[in-house]
Amino acid sequence: MSVNFLISQAKNIQIVIDENAAEIEALDQNIGDGDHIFNVQRGLKLVVELEKDIKNLTLQKGLNMIAMKVLSGIGGSSGALFGTFFMSMAKTPDLDGNIDFNKACEMVITGINAMKERGKADVGEKTMMDVLIPVSEKLNELKSGNTDMNEGLSEIIKIAEDRMLATKDMLATKGRASFLGERAKGHIDPGARSSQLIIDTICKSLLNK
């Protein structure tokens, strides 16, 4: 992992999110207030625009710049959560050397743990954490095991999709949709969908290498 890797991933993700923007917006209008997709799009645009400022920085400095940009430029729950994600990733020890797959796993796990802490949400509450926590758990398994990386990435793609779809039948207990009670059932959580698309994009780009 490097700053250039992060920027190129942000560009890939931007394309996929834009392609699926109408769907995510519709999901949010069903059970939220419709701001999620605009926040995600604004955040991706800001990160992509950072390229010239951060491309020569160390990974830690680059991540911190991304974190501050995301934190101050997005707003809403997404801004706080993704800002926390990048800020915590930057705090992973030993980021100076080469970042191999295991180290990258460790960084993402650290980031997702911090999001869980900030949002005080766990699996089963119909939020983006329903996708992110199981992905983080799988990364932890991959990091310490002997699974082939490609096989692991394919499994993560599957986990993210299954968990995203599983939010459909959940009652929401956290976030904007929690105010709906039973009426939130039958709708996929927009945050879970955008998170799944992000994970799907990153994993697929690594598989195609």
- Give min distance, CB of 123 to another protein, in A: 14
- Give min distance, CB of 126 to another protein, in A: 11
Nearer to another protein, 35 or 200 (CB): 35
Nearer to another protein, 135 or 177 (CB): 177
**CA 15 – CA 120 distance, rounded (Å):** 30
How far lies 31's CA from each of 4, 34, 86, 176, 188, in Å? 36, 9, 27, 8, 9
The residue among 87, 84, 83, 75 whose CA lies nearest residue 36 is 75
- Give min distance, CB of 2 to another protein, in A: 27
- Binding interface with another protein (CB under 8 A): 25, 29, 31-35, 38-39, 68, 71-81, 83-84, 118-119, 173-176, 178-181, 183
- Where do we find the tokens 């990386």? 149
The residue among 85, 181, 168 whose CA lies nearest residue 126 is 168
Nearer to another protein, 76 or 159 (CB): 76
- Give min distance, CB of 168 to another protein, in A: 17
Nearer to another protein, 34 or 159 (CB): 34
DSSP state of 145: S
